[in-house]
A and B are shown apart, each in its own frame.
Chain A
């Protein structure tokens, strides 16, 4: 009996690498509160001041609604484009060995490192009617700068790293045996890609596209230089917020911002839930 007791006492507690759930969780929560929750609360407080009717009036203003449409469509096309092009880029970076691969790999992050205004000005210069690309495209009758196409271009440019950087690690970890198994079972290259590789990449790709989409919803600096900012045609929602701010109409700015915020939150949350369900199947939990 006595030996049993001593054994029970000697049993070590479960140890974690980072000690103290209380401390680490507390620090994280404090940080999140200061950096994210507090400013967001401020934002909501400011729009609460104005009352429901006024809030509704501001966010459904015709010009603002037009900007929602422009932003949503542009972000949609930009993220779809990034989904395709980003997947291709990630594939090339992971699957092929070629001179300059590391340089290309580093270049992928450039849109994150570059101030977005610089990106916007550069793009605008290149694609304006007497720029290098704009000149060429104009002769084909295509106008990019100062149109919604320009918005898509700027959004795609600033958010492409999201797709590449989420897909790349998953692609790297994909076991070659699964592909080989597909081939020994007689599957064509396309069938192996569609049935074996793609389902494994799909959750990461969706996350990348969603991140790219939400980033595009909020993009400001890169877009305004190339968009032309014509009311009802090429004004994005971030610009509407900026315009309200310049008129010192802080409640209106907050109100519009809260719409963008909600849209992003809902989308990210939905993707998270969906991905968790998909991954649970893969990991058998």
Chain B
């Protein structure tokens, strides 16, 4: 079922949680709401569910206007961050709950309910735990039960609030893949909230990046990564190094550091955002860039080596991070305390006073 969000706003006391925002979600789509805490993503999700009322605006499921409909009549599946399983009920009773509370005329008989519950538990691969209590389950198992419970009444919309937030990395990855499979198989429309950019990019058909109650950008994961349309999105999608540049003598400069302008780049001051893996690193400066940095830490993380660097005689608000493949790292054998020179391959230039970037390549 498609979801139409039209000019929804919300404030708590004097705090504006959501500025009026609109969003169209297609039928069968999986949408990730991505943003830091306090960006309003959970509030938006709860408003879609009906757990929170909006101050203004309109929400529509398909052709149905649900703006003033109570949460229990919206027929959405909702998965809570902390699972919110009923502690005093067995796993089977938890999953059966949505069916048990149906009005008598619509409620299946006990045998049918039992059968459906077992089917759902098999679907989440936990049929053998039917008679356990929630406290006897691991986090990943609880999350699957919460999902099975939400799907019991066959909702056409599934909403998930930080569904994998409390799980360890491996389980999270596994569940993510599994949820995506389930989504594709059953064809419901899903909206999930996350602060993990990797999760949003991996799982969503489209990602909605939010900050301070606004929508910053809505795009497919690939496009979002390729063309972030603001400083915020660029920052939030991870590991950006910022070079704060003045324009003088035909170069971008910051104290002693300098960067050659690519051909098509605007000849003005601004910030150049550089992704951590788009660098060459060597022990000598190049013609294109003079960016001296000191190595303060070397982290071996999986397939890459991450160098943490601080500027020498120029200024940056944050520590720079540069990721190198092991091969490149082994060639140079950088050491802690050493001075290195980095040369960017590509970046995004935000001219001063401009909100949108221009890609630059060397």
Contact = CB atoms under 8 A, between A and B. Distances in A.
Interface stretch (A21-29, A45-53, A187-195, A221-229): A187-195
Interface in A88-133: none
Contacts, number: 77
B201 to A, nearest CB: 28
Nearest to A281: B133
B100 to A, nearest CB: 8
B72 A188 contact: yes
B185 to A, nearest CB: 22
A61 interface: no
A184 B135 contact: no
B92 interface: no
A282 B71 CA distance: 27
Contacts of A199: 86, 88-89
Interface in B67-126: 70-73, 75-78, 80, 82, 84-89, 97-98, 100-102
Nearest to B137: A284
A185 B80 contact: no
Contacts of A188: 72, 101
Interface stretch (A156-164, A173-181, A204-212, A255-263): A173-181
A180 B51 contact: yes
Given A180-B80, A284-B136, A185 B88 contact: no
B73 to A, nearest CB: 8
Interface residues of A, number: 21
Contact of B82 (A177, A281, A283): A177
B72 A187 contact: yes
B135 A180 contact: no
A208 to B, nearest CB: 18
A184 B48 CA distance: 12
Nearest to A175: B84
A213 B82 CA distance: 38
B133 A184 contact: no
B7 interface: no
Given A184-B76, A282-B87, A195 B97 contact: yes
Given A184-B78, A186-B98, A284-B135, A200 B71 contact: no
Interface in B193-223: none
B54 interface: no
Nearest to A179: B84
Given A199-B88, A284-B135, A284-B136, A185 B149 contact: yes
A199 B134 CA distance: 15
A184 B152 CA distance: 12
Interface of B: 49, 51, 70-73, 75-78, 80, 82, 84-89, 97-98, 100-102, 133-136, 149-150, 152-153
Given A181-B86, A182-B86, A185-B149, 12 more contacts: A178-B87, A180-B80, A181-B80, A181-B85, A182-B97, A186-B73, A186-B75, A186-B98, A186-B101, A200-B88, A284-B135, A284-B136
9 contacts: A175-B84, A177-B84, A178-B87, A180-B51, A181-B85, A185-B150, A186-B72, A195-B86, A199-B86
